[in-house]
Chain A
């Protein structure tokens, strides 16, 4: 089954404690990205990657890092989480550059206290 898998689904952490949210897709897609979803703000892109070892900032990259060492994986790293990063995060992938993501992960709800 074609899918995008994020882990964990729920995470509560404390300010400053490094964390990683994993994202994996099994569709051999080149394009992957991370979004955060906040009430009243919709979805905002954090980072995206057009292929292995190619990443670029989205609209709200501050406080986040990503890596793309393999085509299937695109982890989101928060080196020093802060409460304003409490949000619902979505990973997504697509097979065509410039074509919007057709497949989203199930979301990771992060709470930073």
Chain B
């Protein structure tokens, strides 16, 4: 079954520390994976997608098909990065977007 797993509900770091938000997926086929971010009291926004291979707000994510992972990384966390982060997988067979349960990132000053 198609599934996205984010094992950490909460990740707390200090400003300037590296951040890695974990995402693992289960999908039969070639997946398309994304990270969404939700800042406090705001709507979800697309942060990045693996096919574009770009860095947004200093964040990067590499698709590792061998480990079925799509971890989100940032070398130096900022306080404004504090938000809820969702990993998502696009299931082309069902036209569904499957979300993980989310990880709340807290960056302390």
Q: What B residues does A90 contact at CB under 8 A?
A: 43-44
Q: Which of B12-20, B57-65, B72-80, B99-107 contacts A (4 or more CB under 8 A)?
A: B99-107
- Contact between chains at A48 and B102 (CB < 8 Å): no
Give the tally of cross-chain contacts (CB within 8 A): 52
Q: How large, as a class, is the contact surface on chain B?
A: 20 to 34
- Contact between chains at A100 and B43 (CB < 8 Å): no
The answer to the question of B46 belonging to the interface, with a C-beta cut-off of 8 Å to chain A, is yes
Given known A-B contacts A90-B43, A100-B34, A100-B46, A50 and B86 have beta carbons under 8 A apart? no
The answer to the question of A75 belonging to the interface, with a C-beta cut-off of 8 Å to chain B, is no
Q: What B residues does A45 contact at CB under 8 A?
A: 96-97
Which residues of B does A touch, CB under 8 Å? 6, 9, 32, 34, 42-46, 49, 86, 88, 90, 92, 95-97, 99-102
Query: Can you name 28 A-B residue pairings with CB atoms under 8 Å?
Result: A4-B43, A33-B97, A40-B101, A41-B101, A42-B6, A42-B86, A42-B99, A42-B100, A43-B44, A43-B99, A43-B102, A45-B97, A48-B95, A50-B95, A56-B95, A59-B96, A90-B44, A92-B44, A99-B32, A99-B90, A100-B34, A100-B49, A100-B90, A100-B97, A105-B43, A106-B42, A106-B43, A107-B43
